Amino acid sequence: MVAHHEIHLESYVVRKLVENGWIKGSNSHYDPVWGLLSSLVWSTTS
């Protein structure tokens, strides 16, 4: 039986997304509480 590893699917999906204009982020900037990449969040003051 051939073993399947999820990392191969993940690598394929990430590669295809990046090839189509998506930006690959870093896990170190991910805030699991907010579910956001802090590097993509900005605020404005009035």
pLDDT tens string 1-46: 667 789 899 999 999 999 999 888 778 878 888 888 777 776 656 5
Residue 24 in any domain: the answer is yes
Residue 18 in any domain: the answer is yes
Q: For residue 42, what pLDDT is reported?
A: 67
Number of domains in the chain: 1
Q: For residue 16, what pLDDT is reported?
A: 97
Residue 45 in any domain: the answer is no
How many C-beta atoms surround the C-beta of residue 15 within 10 A? 11
Which uninterrupted H or E stretch holds 7?
Answer: helix 6-19
Q: For residue 44, what pLDDT is reported?
A: 59
Q: For residue 20, what pLDDT is reported?
A: 96
Domain that holds residue 17: 6-40
Q: For residue 29, what pLDDT is reported?
A: 77
Q: For residue 45, what pLDDT is reported?
A: 60
**Are the CB atoms for 38 and 31 separated by under 8 Å?**
yes
Residue 46 in any domain: the answer is no
Tell me the C-alpha distance between 41 and 34, whole Å: 11
In the chain, count of helices (H) and strands (E)? Answer: 1, 2
